[in-house]
Amino acid sequence: MYDTNAVYQTLEDHFPDAEIVIPPKDNTFADEVHHPKRMSNLIGCFALGIIGWQRV
């Protein structure tokens, strides 16, 4: 529900130094259209698994 580019952009506008930690949707794939912080979460989640990513 919150894993959208609009949510990431709004959070970054209000809290530019905050680390945004929103688990990616199951059907999300990596491409250049995603917000950079969203891509970082997506890549980390795929690399570590959802549980491993949440622990970091």
pTM of the predicted model as reported, rounded to 2 decimal places: 0.71
Rounded to an integer, the average pLDDT of 29-43 is 80
List pLDDT tens digits, range 44-53: 888 888 888 8
Best CA proximity match to 4, nearest among 13, 23, 43, 18? 23
List pLDDT tens digits, range 19-28: 888 888 777 7
Structure confidence at residue 11 (pLDDT): 92
List pLDDT tens digits, range 3-19: 888 888 999 999 999 88
Distance between first and last Cα of the chain: 22
